[in-house]
Amino acid sequence: MDASPYGQLPASGSTPPPAFSDIRAAFDIDRGLRRGIAGIRRAPWVLVLGGFLKGCTEGGGGVNVPNPDDYTQLREMFDKVGASGHSALPGQPGWFAADGGPFAGVDALAGVGLGVLGLIVVVAVVLVVVMFLANGWLGAGWIRLHAQLIRTGEALPGTLFSATDCFGTMLAWSFTSGLIGLAGVAIAIAPFGAMFFLPEGSPTQLAVAVVGGVWFLMVVGALLYLRMALSLVAHVIALEGQSMMAAIERSFSLTSGGRFHLLLYMSVFSFIGLLVTLPGYCLCIVGVLLSRPLGVAMRDLPFTEGFLHLTQPPEAVAAHSISTWGDD
């Protein structure tokens, strides 16, 4: 069972080993914090690059969808400026003008066909699809980068783009987990839909609101529990080469008896990642471009370290490079 530099264990289709550690010992908050800080000190710029790309696939990294006012202002500005970059001369078409401007097709879509809102919806859908595809590719590479740093003390930028072998599986898992989330939200808010068909302020509407609130909290609790049960799926796919269904089964098995601890662990490091990110907002764009990726790294790297601690034998964990420099 020879491992690759980024920590892949069995070959695809083979049976992975059981857990080698108690989940509470594997996902130790104090050790995770120390190893996360040490990892950032060891390879700051590669983790900044990876954290920036990962943040972009999650909707961060400064990616914003324009609103209708933005488009309207942009259109007016370009209609006053010719293609040469100077003020439009009499008879010279504006960039968006329907009589020959280079963006006339876009103008037709926005102003005549789809409308401004329709164009924004198209742009938003394209961005979501791009981020979905990028997350399937870079998500596994990001995990492998952590494992490589932990095991060897090196973090090579090319590792971020190494997950072509499990791209399809990661896409399938991203799509499945997204459906689970959407279905959960729909189930959670379903009782509130009945309120629109009841007389406003009636005792029945009030009763439905109370029951709906209790139902909402119960479903959210169940979703969090399920989220913890599935929290290791991406790591199993990226580092053990398993199929999606095998990864789901293995994640359920590995997290058994420790899901509430995982919820605490992930909450703590999400909060730490947020704290790392916040100071960057004081420095505007430059600060966020640095602090946001570091926050993502501080959130994610300790989780990978915990996964390796859980799934690798003690002698392999002791041989990790981070064991020799991680507490410096």
Q: What is the DSSP letter of 99?
A: T
Tell me the per-residue pLDDT of 8-54, one tens digit each, with 9 for 90 and over: 444 445 566 667 778 999 999 999 999 999 999 999 999 999 998 88
CA distance 251 to 249: 6
Residues 6 or more apart whose Cβ sits within 8 Å of residue 101 = 79, 83, 93, 94, 95, 107
Joined tokens for residue 316:
């392999």
DSSP 8-state class, residue 163: G
d(CA 84, CA 77): 14
* CA-based torsion, 274, 276, 281, 286: positive or negative: negative
Report residue 249's pLDDT band, with 50, 70 and 90 as the boundaries.
very high
Q: Which residues does residue 87 pair with via DSSP β-bridges, in sequence order?
A: 81
Q: pLDDT tens-digit profile of 43-101? A: 999 999 999 888 888 765 433 434 445 445 544 554 454 444 444 444 444 444 444 44
Residue ranges covered by each domain of the chain: 23-325
3-state secondary structure of 161: helix
Find the mean pLDDT for residues 258-284: 87
Q: Judge whether 272 and 298 are in contact, CB under 8 Å.
A: yes
CA-CA distance, 175 to 103, in Å (whole number)? Answer: 34
Q: Are 126 and 132 in contact (CB under 8 A)?
A: no
pLDDT at 204 over 60: yes
